[in-house]
């Protein structure tokens, strides 16, 4: 008995020294129930209302700014990105996707043709008339359109039309899209898929796909749209919040139910496997992954601008993470179509309904708990592991910087030129001499052990990869290096060069995605076929220009002066592109923005307006370019050469 007590005491003492992760739930609200279940299972601490201590993770239910907390002075991670809610509004998401569609028309055909209302009301009516003329010539049913409020949710305010004059839109922003009238059906019912995606970090971008999801069914058998059934919301719309009020809605009694109006995605994949081949199902899953990656690349530029506006630019852009929900429809050919992206997918694990006595009651939902609890649990584990790796890399960075400075000092005093093969010995000797002469400069035993583990793992990784660590080390000691032959970002001197070298090596450790298998999450970006996404980072590079000219200077928007200055510095003014024409271009886009966007900054161009101006300017400057992608790439290269050599030019 005494022996067991002694062992128990030793285990308790050993665990007492470990840091227990903490999560601030003050603003969790509707996420609270599932979050507390996960924290209990993990054995983590909850910081609730009234707590003044800094937590490892802050969990908000809606937005980054929720609760007016200042995150600039803490190393904590927040479960929302700045500006994400606005980015995911239907009009803003459509604008982001349209930018990519202009550059890559064949790659973004997964989103229906869309018009902005009231901005494009006349254009929509003209286009709709033209589409209907084609329908009549080909003797097919008239194309139907679906109207959605930009900031709507739960199916509210959505309706179908065939006559474009029936589009009744007040001043509130809306979109109108071509309705997908040949959806895939199961048992005669239309359905959509809710996919959960985790954006784990921005620097570098890391996106994970949750391997389980929800499938929501309509509750009235589907018929092709006609004037007789356009009003049938339970037939044409699949929103859960809408269909749960239907008399034919079937609540799932457990997570394995195969005929419920809300089912697990894995069950539906199995059911579809009886209708389609395994190869067809796998191709659809791959198309969904591509759809997710391309959509995130479309919002990435604006996401970076919003991040830089809220958090210190000197910090790596890994302070935030977010679970977002993709709503996807499958056509009868198994092609995935993006309906919308939800910045705050519901994490509730219960449901409301009216019982037999006519009372409104809330009951637990087995299917929601099964899916969402694992989703939140694995997200928390991922995030805290990423945060711990970041701390370790920062410790390595500090230690390496100190060691490298000692090497330079040692070499300067000795005026010696040591061959590259002796670099490791130099580091070792310098560290020993420093410890002998000044014990305060010695690195702690714990950090040394961690650094040894890091170096061991890094050497193992480098044995299979072509790295530049040798070149970096030689740069530290060789006085005869010709800096003019190096990359522009490396042509810096003395102490700066040491820091740059150290940061590069730290990035190798910090930026390597965690490869340990974690249940239900799959890394889809970076992907094994990442080269196909390479050109899609062009708008992100334009965002870096905007950040340099606007955000870093403390402005909220780009005024006329920095826009003119951009043209002047980048030598864009010539006989074909005069400063007067540049001023006119700015004014044209500025007033267009003010006319249709009441929330736009009063002082100048926001980023979406700037990128529109950038494209128009590129077409004027490089009018002989074959495509917009070509002209925008050329203008980007010109701007980068003149503005910031540390920003890599596009390939």
Task: Give the end of a domain, one of 477, 510, 543.
Answer: 510
Task: Give the end of a domain, one of 59, 77, 107.
Answer: 59
Question: Is 478 a domain residue?
Answer: yes
What are the tens digits of pLDDT across the range 570-582? 888 887 788 999 9
Answer yes or no: do 548 and 637 share one domain.
yes
Other residues' Cβ atoms within 10 Å of the Cβ of residue 69: 15
- Residue 501 pLDDT more than 50? no
- Residue 525 pLDDT more than 70? yes
**Range name among 102-106, 295-299, 590-594 with the lowest pLDDT average:** 590-594
Length of the chain: 651
Question: Is 491 a domain residue?
Answer: yes
Answer yes or no: do 544 and 485 share one domain.
no
Question: Is 153 a domain residue?
Answer: no
Most confident of 15-19, 375-379, 448-452: 375-379
Per-residue pLDDT, 406: 53
* Predicted confidence band of residue 549 (pLDDT cuts 50, 70, 90): very high
| C-alpha–C-alpha distance, residues 623 and 646, integer Å | 28
- For the chain, the distance separating the N- and C-terminal CA atoms, rounded to the nearest angstrom, is 70
Average pLDDT estimate for 489-515: 35
Q: Which two tokens stand for residue 528?
A: 């094994």
Per-residue pLDDT, 574: 82
Question: Is 573 a domain residue?
Answer: yes
Question: Is 7 a domain residue?
Answer: yes
Answer yes or no: do 587 and 635 share one domain.
yes
Question: Is 408 a domain residue?
Answer: yes
Task: Supply the pTM of this predicted model.
Answer: 0.78
Bridge partners, 160 (sequence order):
146
Backbone dihedral angles phi then psi of residue 191, each to the nearest 5 degrees: -150, 160
| C-alpha–C-alpha distance, residues 348 and 461, integer Å | 42
* Predicted confidence band of residue 524 (pLDDT cuts 50, 70, 90): very high
Q: Which residue has the tokens 């603003």?
A: 27
Answer yes or no: do 407 and 472 share one domain.
yes
What are the tens digits of pLDDT across the range 293-335? 999 999 999 999 999 998 876 666 688 999 999 999 999 999 9
Per-residue pLDDT, 651: 45
Answer yes or no: do 545 and 631 share one domain.
yes
Nearest-Å Rg of the Cα atoms of the chain is: 28
Answer yes or no: do 410 and 506 share one domain.
yes
Question: Is 499 a domain residue?
Answer: yes
Helix, strand, coil percentages, rounded to 5, for the chain: 50, 15, 35
- Residue 128 pLDDT more than 70? yes
| C-alpha–C-alpha distance, residues 152 and 461, integer Å | 48
Average pLDDT estimate for 24-30: 93
Inter-residue contact 213 to 371 (CB < 8 Å): yes
Backbone dihedral angles phi then psi of residue 365, each to the nearest 5 degrees: -115, 110
Bridge partners, 351 (sequence order):
363
- Residue 473 pLDDT more than 60? no
| C-alpha–C-alpha distance, residues 299 and 296, integer Å | 5
Question: Is 618 a domain residue?
Answer: yes
- Neighbouring residues of 521: CB distance < 8 A, sequence distance ≥ 6: 198, 208, 209, 210, 211, 378, 382
Answer yes or no: do 538 and 481 share one domain.
no
Per-residue pLDDT, 511: 40
Scanning 212-264, the segments in alpha helix (DSSP H) are 233-236, 240-243
SS3 state of residue 309: helix
Question: Edge-to-edge, what's the strand order for the sheet holding 159-161?
Answer: 114-117, 174-178, 145-149, 159-161
Answer yes or no: do 492 and 573 share one domain.
no
What are the tens digits of pLDDT across the range 244-266? 888 898 988 888 899 999 999 99
| C-alpha–C-alpha distance, residues 124 and 163, integer Å | 11
Q: Show the domain range for 21.
A: 2-59
Average pLDDT of the chain is: 79
Other residues' Cβ atoms within 10 Å of the Cβ of residue 386: 18
- Residue 353 pLDDT more than 80? no
What are the tens digits of pLDDT across the range 371-418? 999 999 999 999 998 877 766 555 555 555 555 455 445 544 544 444
Answer yes or no: do 499 and 544 share one domain.
no
Angle at 386 between CA 380 and CA 391, to 5 degrees: 125
Most confident of 73-77, 252-256, 544-548, 571-575: 544-548
Angle between helical axes of 90-103 and 607-621 (0-180°, round to 10): 20
Answer yes or no: do 492 and 565 share one domain.
no
Other residues' Cβ atoms within 10 Å of the Cβ of residue 632: 26
* Predicted confidence band of residue 98 (pLDDT cuts 50, 70, 90): very high
Answer yes or no: do 578 and 638 share one domain.
yes
Answer yes or no: do 427 and 465 share one domain.
yes
Domain total for the chain?
Answer: 3
Other residues' Cβ atoms within 10 Å of the Cβ of residue 118: 16
Q: Which two tokens stand for residue 352?
A: 């409301």
Whether the bond into 121 is cis, omega within 30 of 0: no
């Amino acid at each position: 008995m005494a022996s067991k007590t002694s062992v128990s005491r030793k285990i308790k003492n050993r665990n007492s020294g470990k840091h227990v992760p903490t999560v601030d739930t003050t603003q969790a609200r509707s996420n609270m129930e599932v979050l507390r279940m996960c924290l209990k299972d993990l054995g983590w601490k909850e910081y609730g209302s009234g707590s003044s201590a800094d937590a490892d993770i802050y969990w908000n239910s809606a937005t980054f700014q929720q609760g007016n907390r200042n995150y600039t002075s803490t190393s904590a991670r927040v479960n929302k990105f700045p500006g994400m809610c606005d980015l995911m509004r239907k009009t803003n998401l459509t604008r982001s996707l349209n930018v990519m569609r202009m550059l890559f028309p064949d790659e973004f055909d997964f989103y229906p043709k869309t018009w902005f209302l009231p901005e494009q009301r006349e254009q929509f009516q003209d286009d709709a008339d033209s589409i209907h003329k084609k329908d009549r010539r080909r003797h097919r049913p008239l194309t139907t359109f679906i109207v959605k409020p930009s900031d709507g949710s739960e199916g509210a305010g959505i309706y179908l039309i065939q006559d474009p004059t029936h589009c009744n839109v007040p001043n509130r922003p809306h979109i109108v899209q071509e309705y997908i009238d040949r959806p895939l059906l199961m048992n005669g019912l239309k359905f959509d898929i809710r996919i959960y995606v985790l954006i784990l970090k921005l620097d570098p971008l890391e996106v994970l796909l949750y391997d389980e999801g929800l499938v929501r069914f309509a509750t009235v058998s589907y018929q092709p749209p006609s004037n007789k059934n356009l009003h049938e919301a339970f037939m044409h719309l699949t929103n859960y919040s809408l269909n749960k009020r239907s008399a034919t809605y079937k609540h799932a009694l457990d997570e394995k139910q195969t005929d419920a109006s809300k089912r697990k995605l894995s069950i539906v994949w199995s059911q579809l496997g009886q209708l389609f081949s395994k190869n067809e199902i796998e191709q659809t899953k791959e198309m969904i992954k591509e759809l997710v990656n391309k959509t995130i690349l479309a919002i990435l530029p604006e996401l970076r601008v919003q991040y830089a506006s809220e958090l210190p630019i000197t910090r790596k852009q890994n302070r935030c993470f977010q679970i977002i929900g993709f709503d996807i429809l499958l056509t009868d050919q198994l092609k995935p179509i993006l309906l919308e992206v939800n910045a705050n997918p519901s994490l509730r694990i219960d449901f409301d309904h009216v019982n037999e006595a006519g009372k409104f009651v809330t009951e637990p939902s087995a299917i929601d708990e099964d899916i969402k609890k694992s989703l939140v649990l694995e997200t928390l584990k991922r995030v805290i592991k990423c945060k711990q790796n970041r701390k370790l890399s920062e410790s390595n960075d500090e230690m390496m910087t100190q060691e490298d400075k000692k090497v330079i000092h040692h070499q300067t005093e000795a005026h010696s030129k040591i061959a590259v093969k002796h670099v490791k010995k130099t580091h070792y000797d310098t560290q020993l001499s420093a410890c002998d002469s000044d014990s305060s400069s010695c690195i702690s035993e714990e950090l040394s052990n961690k650094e040894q583990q890091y170096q061991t793992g890094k050497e193992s990784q480098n044995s299979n990869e072509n790295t530049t660590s040798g070149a970096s080390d030689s740069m530290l000691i060789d006085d005869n290096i010709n800096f003019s032959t190096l990359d522009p970002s490396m042509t810096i001197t003395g102490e700066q060069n040491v820091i740059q070298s150290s940061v590069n090596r730290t990035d190798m450790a910090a930026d390597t995605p965690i490869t340990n298998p974690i249940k239900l999450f799959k890394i889809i970006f970076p992907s094994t076929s990442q080269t196909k996404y390479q050109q899609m980072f062009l708008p992100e590079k334009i965002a870096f220009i905007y950040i340099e000219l606007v955000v870093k200077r403390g402005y909220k928007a780009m005024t006329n002066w920095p826009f003119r200055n951009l043209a002047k510095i980048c030598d864009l003014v010539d006989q074909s592109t005069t400063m007067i024409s540049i001023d006119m271009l700015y004014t044209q886009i500025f007033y267009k923005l003010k006319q249709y966007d009441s929330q736009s900054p009063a002082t100048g161009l926001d980023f979406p307006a700037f990128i529109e101006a950038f494209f128009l300017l590129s077409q004027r400057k490089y009018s002989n370019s074959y495509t917009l992608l070509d002209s925008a790439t050329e203008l980007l290269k010109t701007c980068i050469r003149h503005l910031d050599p540390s920003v890599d030019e596009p390939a």
